[in-house]
A and B are shown apart, each in its own frame.
Chain A
Amino acid sequence: MSVTIYLSNDTSARAAGADRLAAAWAEVSDVHIVRTSSRGAFFLEPLAERDGPHGRLLWPRANRDDLTRIRHGAGGITLADVPFLAQQTRAVFARFGTAQPLLLEEYRANGGWRGWERADGLPSEAVIAEMKSSGLRGRGGAAFPIWYKWDAASQHRADRKYVVANADEGDAGTYCDRMIMEGEPFRLIEGMLICAKAIGADRGYIYCRWEYPAAAATMESAIAEAERAGLLTIDQRPFRLEVFRGAGSYVCGEETALLSSLEGGRGMVKVRPPYPAEAGLYGKPTVVSNVLTFATVAEIMARGADWHAALGTEGSKGLIALQLGGRIRQPGLVEIPFGATLADVLERFGGGMVEGSRFKAVQVGGPLGSLFPESRLSIPLCFDRFSEAGAVLGHGGIVVFDHETDMVELARHYMTFTADESCGKCAPCRIGSVRARELLERIERRNGTREDLALLADLGATMKATSLCAHGGRAPYPVLTAIEHFGDDFDRRLTTRSQK
């Protein structure tokens, strides 16, 4: 009897061995392999699935020899058996793990493209009003109200306007944009079309970092497919959409740097205003949002603004896509309403520390976010509460560090990254990050003094107050929160210092 086995084609599933399984099983007669998007439960990958009497059956961490069991349906678990997945509120990622990424008909048959169909029948003001009442804020880090950008770009008269998807997902510990591009590329196209319709744009770009070769290739194929199907048309006018590949610069995730890079120049930050919505790419009105934001736009148009506005907290409507990683048992994508506490998320989804490890700290919001010790985990995951605490949700990355992590080394690591990636436009970031790195290196070598810590604090305050963009302005946070919460690690290095 022939059997269809589903294996994810996501980069992380492939890195965990899905390709090896697919290659081995493809040679067996009567076995049909289908490559799908990923459920994002990466601790289960490679995850083999087949259809069972009541939905999918799952074989986590499958190996070649599992084929016999899978053929007979023996030992497979159901989705309900995986609390990591069963406890989530999936919307953008609801179909992940079930469908083939590049089958447009499958996407449409499963409920995709409905957001665009609805937007297509509405005047642009109504689409913007829908965004306003949904309460959607940008998911890339700045959390700016989406409708406001769209409204500004729509009001500005220009012979050309652009929609740009920021797929330069550079925050370490984040991968939800990559998952969307690899797993449901038509969703990104749909969200960008809705935005283009609302602001009157006829061109779009997806600025994809080079570190995501599979995502860029999938997007290019999906665009070609959508074009073939005649779907890249807005009000009877063609919408031209292209993938643009970056060349490895973290700062290009900042929107003005991204636009400079998209124009082909050095990816350096510009002073705002003017904001891109007024004068962006080639000086024309441009809406820049990250991939997850556009993916959410499609969902809001399909389900209605009220659906979105009813989820989350007062200032943070909707769902947050958290990306768990680091020293925990269950790394993966968690989509839940805003407002759950950090402790709750780690407990319910993280699955505890890996064997032999004890919790030390958690980093939220990537390299520009803050470190939290165990005593601060009661903070709810929403924009306002994080802002009050001087922290950011950023791109939703959550990285857990264990007891063996040396906070001096980690702080030096963060500042090395900041210095490596500074675009060099403004002095506080260009020079400050190098000086801060040098101070941390000195402390790491046990040559640092207490005055060096005071200098770091002073330098950090200057960088925060005077840097042109968040790269320099937020880079001190991981270092300063490391010193604040894990002072012992620093003191230990100071007390045994050699005399200079």
Chain B
Amino acid sequence: MSPSETLALQRALEQHRPESGEPANILRTLIGVQRILGYVPASAIGPVADALRVPEAHVAGVLSYYPDLHAAPRGRRVVRVCLGEACVANRSCDVLAECQRILGIGIGETTKDGRTTLERVYCLGNCGVGPTVMIDETIYGRVCPSDMGTVLSQVDDRPI
């Protein structure tokens, strides 16, 4: 971790130190750390364990369990294509294939410039207006494969 990341981690851990008489919460703490650093570096496991007074193995176990906790940095933007059944019925697999083609990466991969990570997600609860694509926290509905070029380039134009 860089010095600024170390400092940010310390601040995050201050916020998640358990109140007296309350149990520590590893998951909540890791989500908090990830919100600040973008991921949970391996070097953060020790400080998290110390702050919560739990074994490092417990922290590592929680970190490895949850699909949305990331032990490595990801793209600055995350594109998620919904593969819930309602979207699949409406051909979201074609949308995913088109994203793979445009970005030149597979599921779970990040573009070489570090800009974009592509993921699949099982249902965003947007089934009424699927197929659905989520880019960071913005949800797009009724997406066709042919829309993806525009959607991705619009997102690329946004300041990071």
Contacts and interface: CB of A to CB of B under 8 A. Distances in A.
Contact of A171 (B30, B90, B123): B123
B147 to A, nearest CB: 12
B25 A170 contact: no
A266 B65 CA distance: 6
A173 B82 CA distance: 11
B28 interface: yes
B26 A399 contact: no
A42 B69 CA distance: 32
B122 A12 contact: no
A175 B130 CA distance: 12
Interface in A364-401: 366-367, 397, 399-401
B27 interface: yes
B159 interface: no
Contacts, number: 148
Contacts of B129: 12, 15-16, 42, 45, 331
A11 B67 CA distance: 23
Interface in A1-52: 11-12, 14-16, 40, 42-43, 45
A261 interface: yes
B67 A331 contact: no
B89 A264 contact: no
A212 B89 contact: no
B62 A266 contact: yes
A169 B125 CA distance: 8
Given A211-B121, A263-B23, A421-B122, A16 B84 contact: no
B122 A267 contact: no
Nearest to B142: A16
Contact of A211 (B23, B29, B124, B130): B124
Nearest to B130: A325
B139 A11 contact: yes
A293 to B, nearest CB: 17
Interface of A is mostly: mixed
B33 to A, nearest CB: 12
A259 to B, nearest CB: 12
B137 A213 contact: yes
A487 interface: no
A266 B30 CA distance: 12
B126 interface: yes
A265 B122 CA distance: 22
Given A267-B65, A326-B85, A172 B24 contact: no
B68 A264 contact: no
Contact of A331 (B66, B86, B121): B86
18 contacts: A11-B124, A12-B129, A15-B129, A42-B128, A172-B127, A177-B125, A178-B125, A211-B125, A246-B68, A264-B24, A265-B62, A266-B65, A326-B89, A331-B86, A331-B129, A366-B85, A367-B85, A420-B122
Interface of B: 23-31, 58, 61-62, 65-69, 83-90, 121-130, 132, 134, 137, 139-142
Given A15-B126, A15-B142, A367-B122, 19 more contacts: A172-B122, A173-B127, A175-B126, A244-B28, A247-B30, A247-B68, A247-B69, A263-B23, A263-B25, A264-B23, A264-B26, A265-B61, A265-B62, A325-B86, A326-B86, A327-B90, A413-B85, A413-B88, A420-B122
